[in-house]
């Protein structure tokens, strides 16, 4: 009886110590560790193996928070073995989750994913919606770390469904922040902002104010992505004083990162640089390598006018991301290095960075595929063990679920061939239609040659053949140009050329086609003597493409104005039309290969979405850019902008008036 009472007292003492551990976690981690160690000693004295394993799991969490990864790993693995040996599924799930968090802190995202996937499979049939909600949310975040946005959204939706049946609490806020982050990276900014606002509302009602920092930062970053600096400034007015009051270093660094981005958008380069440096130092002190790499990358972007410093910072960020296993971030940084190398004409470096980027992207796809296969195998094993004790009627449903996931896995494995499929689809449909536009009329002419002689419709058929052949030739030329640019094999023959004669050439080449649609191309007089160093044929092709688009999308009896102007020390060829203009979504998509926009040609002309992509890339090779503006009164103004070269004795003005198509 005395021994029994002693054991009972030890258990009660352990439970009291664990309550102290929980209360000390947020402010006194060393004290929490001391209490956990004492609790473990008492549990071992009591001889209660289940209690020992529970305490080991708690102490592993504290070790992890103290960045003592090896000790955390040892406790978590010991707890997992004990729960598994006794068949304690809830304890096993808890230990798996703790072990996954420890692995993630060590940068082992693949191992963390598999552990969490096993944990979630154990929890689903145990009727523990709160645990399912938290683990599914964590799994979604791990998927974002390895760049698998589609799977992340699947887990987030599962977590959100579980939270719907639970009282509102800050855990749901954490999920909504993570879900918003995934939506933002997949391009659904409006939905992402809605999720951030929902999380912020929950934090205002249920949580300490420090939790508001992350959704505020993300809302501000989203506003900057949309170009809404005023909205970002309004968010900063609430965020910055809030972050200064907090003791949480990670959230301070997060706020500094957003502030740095805002300062850069405001043109306050020195202050932006200092903000990102402070963020990097904080992340370095607390061992958050993702934050270090991200801050270094933002620092490099701030140094855009100093290529050598930007290059150094990008390489430093890349080294940190590679060492930490952050492959998606490595892909972004390699893309930055590739663009910087191109801008500074370091073509060998550009090719090397592009090749490295593609290699990492391929490794990511292979890694995701391997992880999914392992997760499916693990799921199959767990389902098999449950099926042995479940009724026969549940087996078919479980098998159907496994098959659905296998189909999803097959879809993921085929992702590498997506771009090839798009090009093949383009060739099989668009180019095939053009070929039939030639073959069809030609066949009719051959079959009815005698009857067609001198007949009006024969001329129409010949015109149709000629038009299709011209479009096909133009399209194939653009596709070949696009391929050459993407492969880096295109070479420019740049020479100093006067610009107005180029506009005159384009005017004479396209005026007849415009007149055929009842349109008129007006050549606006420019400043004499203005020149630029360009590839004559390439720049003429780009100018002609913009004029061709204006003809395609403008109505009959409209005026298209073209010419060269000087804006802020740069030469700009403009094409101002009276067409429908571009939507905001069109502007985002403009310049992507094989991307058709929302407007439709007014004369049923064929368009395949290659021309603007080629123009954008060729002008980039000229160290220039393609811009478009759509005034409120209608129409659009496209500009090809290249560096200005003024011959001796010329007096080019510094600025030009803004074009307003509706007034021309």
Q: Exposure string (b/e) for 481-497, b if CB count within 10 Å is 16 or more? A: bbeebeeeebeeebeee
Any idea where the domains of the chain sit in the sequence?
1-106, 417-487, 494-663
Task: Indicate the DSSP class of residue 645.
Answer: B
3-class DSSP assignment, residue 592: coil
In the numeric block, the tokens 């205002």 are attached to 204
Written in H, E and C, the secondary structure of 89-106 is HHHHHHHHHHHHHHHHHC
pLDDT, average across residues 508-526 = 89
What are the distances in angstroms from CA 623 to CA 308, 330, 571?
Answer: 18, 26, 12
Report the range of poorest mean pLDDT among 214-218, 349-353, 379-383: 379-383
Q: Report pLDDT for 416.
A: 43
Q: What is the CATH number of domain 494-663?
A: 3.30.565.10
Q: Report pLDDT for 660.
A: 34
3-state helix, strand, coil in the chain (%, to 5): 70, 5, 20
- Angle (CA) 49 54 56, round 5°: 90
Rounded-to-10 torsion of CA 211, 214, 217, 219: -100
What's the CATH class of domain 417-487?
Answer: mainly alpha
Question: Are 551 and 512 spatial neighbours (Cβ–Cβ below 8 Å)?
Answer: no
Report the range of poorest mean pLDDT among 266-280, 490-504, 640-654: 640-654
Burial class (CB in 10 A: 0-12, 13-18, 19+), 608: buried
**Euclidean distance between CA atoms 388 and 465, whole angstroms:** 70
**Euclidean distance between CA atoms 581 and 577, whole angstroms:** 8
**Euclidean distance between CA atoms 128 and 332, whole angstroms:** 38
pLDDT tens profile 386-410? 565 455 556 656 667 777 776 766 6
pLDDT, average across residues 494-522 = 90
**Mean pLDDT in the chain?**
80
Q: Please report the sign of the dihedral spanned by the C-alpha atoms of residue 396, residue 402, residue 408, residue 413.
A: negative
**Euclidean distance between CA atoms 120 and 661, whole angstroms:** 59
**Euclidean distance between CA atoms 309 and 495, whole angstroms:** 31
Task: Indicate the DSSP class of residue 26.
Answer: T
Domain 1-106 maps to which CATH number in 3.20.20.80, 1.25.40.10, 3.40.50.1100, 2.40.50.140?
Answer: 1.25.40.10
Q: Report pLDDT for 505.
A: 92
Q: Which residues touch 160 (CB under 8 Å, ≥6 apart)?
A: 172, 175, 176, 179
| Phi (first) and psi of residue 457, to 5 degrees | -70, -20
**Euclidean distance between CA atoms 176 and 157, whole angstroms:** 10
* Band of pLDDT at residue 334, cut at 50, 70 and 90: very high
Report the range of poorest mean pLDDT among 418-427, 506-515, 589-598: 418-427
pLDDT tens profile 421-480? 455 445 545 665 666 566 566 666 656 655 555 555 566 666 666 666 666 666 666 666
Q: Report pLDDT for 470.
A: 62
* Band of pLDDT at residue 5, cut at 50, 70 and 90: very low
**Euclidean distance between CA atoms 178 and 419, whole angstroms:** 29
Q: Report pLDDT for 43.
A: 86
Do domains 1-106 and 494-663 share one topology? The answer is: no
Q: Is a pLDDT exceeding 60 seen at residue 119? A: yes
Tokens standing for residue 472: 């096909």
Among residues 523, 518, 507, the alpha carbon closest in space to that of 664 is found at 523
Task: Indicate the DSSP class of residue 211.
Answer: G
**Euclidean distance between CA atoms 210 and 654, whole angstroms:** 50
Tokens standing for residue 378: 């693990």
CA 625 to centroid of chain Cα atoms: 22
Tokens standing for residue 435: 């070929």
């Amino acid at each position: 009886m005395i021994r029994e009472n002693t054991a009972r007292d030890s258990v009660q003492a352990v439970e009291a110590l664990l309550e102290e551990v929980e209360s000390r976690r947020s402010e006194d981690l060393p004290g929490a560790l001391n209490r956990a160690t004492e609790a473990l000693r008492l549990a071992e004295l009591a001889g209660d193996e289940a209690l020992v394993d529970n305490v080991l799991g708690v102490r592993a969490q504290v070790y992890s928070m103290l960045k003592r990864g090896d000790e955390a790993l040892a406790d978590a693995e010991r707890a997992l073995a004990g729960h598994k040996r006794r068949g304690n599924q809830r304890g096993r799930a808890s230990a798996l989750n703790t072990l996954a968090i420890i692995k993630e802190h060590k940068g082992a995202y693949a191992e963390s994913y598999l552990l969490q996937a096993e944990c979630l499979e154990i929890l689903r049939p145990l009727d523990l919606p709160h645990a399912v909600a938290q683990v599914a949310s964590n799994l979604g975040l791990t998927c974002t770390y390895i760049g698998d946005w589609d799977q992340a959204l699947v887990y987030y939706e599962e977590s959100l469904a579980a939270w719907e049946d639970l009282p509102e609490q800050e855990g749901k806020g954490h999920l909504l922040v993570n879900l918003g982050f995934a939506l933002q990276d997949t391009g659904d900014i409006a939905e992402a902002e809605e999720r951030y606002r929902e999380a912020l509302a929950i934090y205002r009602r249920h949580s300490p104010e420090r939790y508001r920092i992350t959704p505020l930062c993300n809302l501000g970053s989203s506003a900057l992505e949309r170009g809404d600096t005023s909205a970002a400034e309004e968010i900063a007015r609430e965020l910055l004083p809030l972050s200064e009051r907090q003791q949480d270093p990670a959230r301070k660094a997060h706020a500094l990162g957003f502030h740095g981005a805002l300062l850069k958008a405001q043109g306050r380069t020195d202050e932006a640089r200092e903000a990102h440096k402070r963020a990097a130092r904080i992340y370095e002190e607390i061992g958050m390598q993702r934050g270090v790499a991200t801050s270094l990358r933002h620092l490099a972007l701030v140094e855009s006018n100093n290529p050598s410093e930007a290059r150094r910072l990008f390489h430093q960020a890349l080294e940190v991301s590679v060492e930490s296993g952050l492959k998606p971030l490595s892909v972004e940084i390699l893309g930055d290095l590739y663009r910087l190398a191109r801008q500074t004409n370091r073509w060998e470096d550009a090719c090397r960075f592009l090749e490295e980027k593609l290699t990492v992207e391929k490794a990511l796809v292979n890694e995701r595929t391997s992880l999914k296969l392992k997760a499916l195998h693990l799921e199959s094993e767990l389902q098999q063990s449950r099926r042995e004790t479940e009724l026969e009627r549940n087996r078919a449903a479980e098998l159907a679920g496994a098959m659905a996931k296998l189909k999803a896995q097959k879809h993921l494995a085929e992702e590498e061939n997506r771009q090839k499929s798009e090009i093949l689809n383009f060739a099989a449909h668009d180019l095939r239609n053009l070929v039939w536009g030639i073959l069809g009329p030609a066949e009719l002419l051959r079959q009815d040659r005698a009857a067609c002689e001198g007949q009006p419709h024969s001329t129409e058929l010949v015109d149709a053949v000629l038009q299709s052949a011209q479009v096909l030739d133009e399209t194939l030329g653009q596709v070949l140009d696009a391929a050459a640019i993407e492969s880096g094999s295109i070479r420019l023959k740049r020479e100093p050329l006067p610009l107005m004669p180029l506009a005159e050439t384009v005017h004479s080449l396209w005026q007849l086609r415009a007149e055929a649609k009842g349109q008129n191309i007006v050549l606006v007089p420019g400043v004499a003597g203005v020149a630029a160093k360009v590839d004559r044929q390439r720049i003429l092709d780009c100018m002609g493409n913009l004029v061709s688009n204006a003809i395609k999308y403008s109505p009959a009896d409209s005026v298209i104005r073209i010419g060269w102007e000087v804006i802020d020390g740069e030469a700009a060829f403009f094409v101002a039309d009276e067409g429908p203009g571009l939507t905001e979504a069109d502007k985002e998509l403009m310049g992507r290969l094989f991307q058709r926009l929302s407007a439709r040609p007014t004369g049923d002309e064929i368009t395949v979405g290659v021309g603007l992509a080629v123009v954008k890339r060729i002008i980039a090779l000229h160290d220039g850019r393609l811009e478009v503006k759509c005034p409120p009164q209608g129409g659009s103004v496209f500009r090809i902008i290249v560096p200005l070269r003024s011959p001796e004795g010329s007096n080019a003005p510094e600025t030009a008036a803004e074009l307003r198509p509706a007034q021309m």
